Structure 1
Amino acid sequence: MLEAIALFLAGVHFGVPLAYYYYAKTKWLPKPWNIKIDENYRPKVTIILPTYNEEKIIKEKLENLYNQVYPKELMEIVIVDSSNDKTAEIVETWHNNNNDTKITLIRENERRGKASALNEALRHVNNDIVIIADADALWPENAVCEAVKWFSDPSVGAVSCLKKPMKQGFLGIEEGYRDYYNILRLAESKAFSTPVFHGELAAFRRELLLKINGFPTDIGADDSHTATKIASMGYRSITPEIWVNERVPKD
């Protein structure tokens, strides 16, 4: 009896995800996006970057954002820093040397969590599109252009990315899992919306963020939860093929 129950539970545990994956890949993934895109759409954008003790990598991240092929007069960066290292000082020095980029640095006395930092930044934002970023992820130089073009269709409320590791040598099970995961996100997006977003790059319409009172501070998944709430309002929350490089912790 116990063996039968164990076999049944194993079948459910492995069978349901595989069946869902097969259905998504064969039925949803081949679908067209059914989104009208204006490749030249250039709204005003604010990138929010929460930081905590990022002194080793913050300069590289600032350079990464600076090198975006997006009009600098249409893009600003808001950094909310709660570090106890030299992150803020590095930001200030970098900005003094690159003053053609608009940067607002908000220094907090205590670390209240990422969602609270995002909401603090949101109070300083007036631009139409808000993109949240992580300091430990690097974007391709066309990432902002590729993300915002989807908002030229009023049906789109949120856009995220796919991730690939900077560290080489991820093969076998790890590579298979990532392929499985990314195909699901693309397929769900084509069907309507995906429930999973990545904080390495997640873009939202500011007006929708205000309608849902910003990012949730009582739930760890501030990116995915926000995207799901926007989808529940009837807007599409999608993950197209925008690939972001993520740092992988050293062994």
Structure 2
Amino acid sequence: MNKTVSIIIPCRNEENYIKQCIDSFLNQSYPKELIEIIIADGMSTDNTRNIINEISKKNNNVILIDNKKFTAPAGMNLGIKKSNSDIIIIFGAHAYADKEFVKENVLALENEEVGCAGGVITTINDSIKGEAIAEAMSCPFGVGNALFRYAEKEAFVDTVGFGAYYRKFITEIGLFDEELVRNQDDELNFRVQKTGKKILLNPKIKSTYFSRGDFKKLWRQYYQYGFWKVRVIQKHKKPASIRHLIPLMFVLFLLFGGIGSIFSNLIRIGYFSTIVLYLILDAVFSLKLSKKKSLLHFPYLFITFPILHISYGIGFIFGIVNFYIVRSKKVEEKNKEISR
């Protein structure tokens, strides 16, 4: 394994996490001389840039570049263009990598049919509410078949978080779409599959992500996922997976089922029966996950699951209205504001 690797990290105001993130790549099992770490900073106003500069003084493979467009895909593309390495790995400043992370990605890409490799992201937080959110984001009831949240076996999937690509290949298919502040990795991986290449999820590729510990920020995050997913589907004429449509169908059911139940006893029975079933499943999964931690997590889990589903579904509806009907640049700009 003598491939050179560039870790591309877009960030902005990540003073609490950026050092641990960079350190995790300075301490990889993969040869240090083959790794460079490119941080595309969106002109941070906290201590992030000072921390990076101090680290780079001692490590000449840590490179800071300015991302004056501020968004993650713009930072990713700047990093890719700055790199001359064989392999690109996209990573987040709000996370850190396992010691074998780079090595396992390089090994995964040795399979010629693989265009993108990635692994399982463990989500954590240090508050009770944050831990509940993290558990819900790693549960099939919360995120469907998003296997990169919880998979235990290697599989071909429709997308991964923190993807690894050959730089030449990712350049040929057009880099990240800078219009998309969310779902830009999904959209890129859609194009990867269009070339005939596959996306490999390997549980040996491990990383840890610090989740949001706030319901308001979580709601906005998943609302934006739903909103921008519509634009991805519009660009490619179809969804990458049926799971992307389920929250939409759930919210439409809540809306139109509620209206219909006013006029029909039969619809009312079906409507409330379905809601009761959902709440039972919510309670069952919340109780199951809270047993791993403590029963104090139960109420937060019980609230988190509906937030994940409903916010995504509502975001999807507003995305349909915006991208297919009114096409408001003002609305799009508002939904480019990332909450952390």
TM range (shorter): 0.7 to 0.9
Alignment-derived partner of residue 234 in structure 1: 196
State whether structure 2 residue 48 is matched by structure 1 residue 87: yes
After alignment, is 165-174 or 129-138 more displaced?
165-174
The runs of 5 or more residues in structure 2 that have no matched partner are 126-130, 215-340
Q: Which has the higher contact order (CA 8 A, sep 6+)?
A: 1
Equivalent position of 1:6 in the other structure: none
Deviations 1:114-164 (A, max 9, x none): 111111111111111100100111211101111110111222111112222
How far is 1:236 from its partner? 1.5
Q: 1:197 aligns with which of 160, 163, 167?
A: 160
Call closer, same or farther: CA 1:141–1:173 in 2, change over 3 Å. closer
Find the partner of 1:149 among 100, 103, 107: 107
Higher helix share: 2
**SS of residue paired to 1:152:** coil
Give aligned-pair identity as a percent. 24
CA contact (8 A) 1:75 1:102 kept: yes
- Aligned partner of 1:246 in structure 2 is 209
TM-score w.r.t. the length of structure 1 is 0.73
Instruction: Check conservation: 1:78, 1:103, Cα contact below 8 A.
Output: yes
Matched, 1:218 2:179: yes
What letter corresponds to residue 147 of structure 1 in structure 2? N
- Structure 1, unaligned stretches of length 5 or more? 1-40
Local SS of the residue matching 2:82: coil
- State the partner residue of 1:126: 84
Cα contact 1:76–1:103 (8 A) shared by 2:
yes
**Change over 3 Å in CA distance of 1:61–1:233 after alignment to 2:** same
Q: What letter corresponds to residue 146 of structure 2 in structure 1?
A: Y
How do 1:41-190 and structure 2 match up within 5 A? 41-82=1-42, 83-96=44-57, 98-99=58-59, 101-108=60-67, 110-167=68-125, 168=131, 175-177=139-141, 180-182=145-147, 190=155
**Between Structure 1 and Structure 2, how many residues are aligned?**
204
The CA deviation string for residues 48-107 of structure 1, in whole angstroms up to 9 with x for no partner, is: 0111001121111111111111101111011111112221111011222x32x5122112
TM-score of the pair, normalised by structure 2: 0.55
Structure 2 CA distance for aligned equivalents of residues 171 and 204 of structure 1 = 29
- Which of the two has higher C-alpha Rg? 2
